[in-house]
Structure 1
Amino acid sequence: MNTDNRQQLTSIESVTLEVDDLAAAERFYGEAFDLDGRVILATSAEPTGGFRGFTMSLVVAQPADVVHLFEAAVAAGATVLKPAEKSLWGFGGVVQAPDGTIWQMASEAKKDTGPATHRIEHVVLLVGADDVSASKRFYGDRGLEVAKSIGGYVDFAMAASPIGFGLYKRRALAKTVGVADDGSGSHRIRINGDSEGFVDPDGFAWTQASDASDA
């Protein structure tokens, strides 16, 4: 339990994706997903290569919605990493945006109950941790409560947060989305929360959400 005076973390208001080509990224996200202010784009020239150690997930109600978002992303210029298809846990697919961000689209449902929509139920940031237990303790010390912890996966309880947050073993996360787990340089993401800024054990930078537009 945290006993110091640091401001407690309870929410992720948005994430800032750092991109090479701002105009191209704005076009892609304008055409592919309606993220309702949850993603901010910023130009960066920081070197980066390989797996950046995180994924963004779009959770939707039914398979038809997965296919709808998946096809919109591909039409806007995304690269297919895993096709949209049924699995043991539901239905999903994975693409990589032109800026390099990996996006998972998923539904726990295996059957449609209505026509496809562009509605996104939840947006989730999943960070690949080298030591999940250590990172779990780190975030626990900053106020986050664990909703689910199974093996190398941790889901934090952030019901009121615009963006959900979880941890997964880095190698397992890379395998899940169909890429090699090696990577170097910048993560190319800043996480904008409701506490003071910090850097986590895996090098992910958190920023006070009120300062995000000035970063």
Structure 2
Amino acid sequence: MEAERQLNIKRSLLDNYERELHLHADFIKFEDKDLRNNGFTSFKTDEIKEFCFGTTLYQYRIVFGREYQILVKNFDNEILDIKFKSYFGIKKYKSHELYVEIVNAIWDLYFTKQVYSFIKEFEAGESFYIGEVNINPEGVVIFVSRLLKQEKKLIPWEDVALRKYSSYVSIYSSKNPLDFNRGYSYKKDWNTLVLYNVIKNILDNKKINND
């Protein structure tokens, strides 16, 4: 039987209540609501669709605070919102370690299987979307910016290039990177980490040099 991991989260200096986060292979549950009623949002694993995560810095000349946020969305577009803050360096390192632990646990429990499922679909010759990106047997379709609008651009697999940065992933044409490129934020775009891992796996399997 899979062990359940429970973490207690204090959201800020002004919200000193320890909210429970439950992580299990079969579900995720977090006390993110009004505590006077049922304060939990809970999703079963097969209900989970996407996630995103990131930090916001609060600063005036110097950084005086950080907000850590992880959002998990289900297929009904309901969102489980894990959010907590650190101010004036108080428990800054502990908060960062907690954030990394939660992101890694959510990835391992709920999204590595999703990557595997997408790769199986690709190997079966199917076309599918991760966020706004279409992945199909011919290549990757992204939106590129033009003067007054966004246009769809198919980048064939032999021309697909991929880069992973600290806060976003870049997909671009290796032959024409200035004209055909798109960045996807871990914080603002859903399932960016899934997108990166699926495309990286496909490129590796095709032995396409991404350097």
TM-score (norm 2): 0.27
**Structure with max Cα Rg:** 2
Structure showing the higher strand proportion among its residues: 2
TM-score (norm 1): 0.26
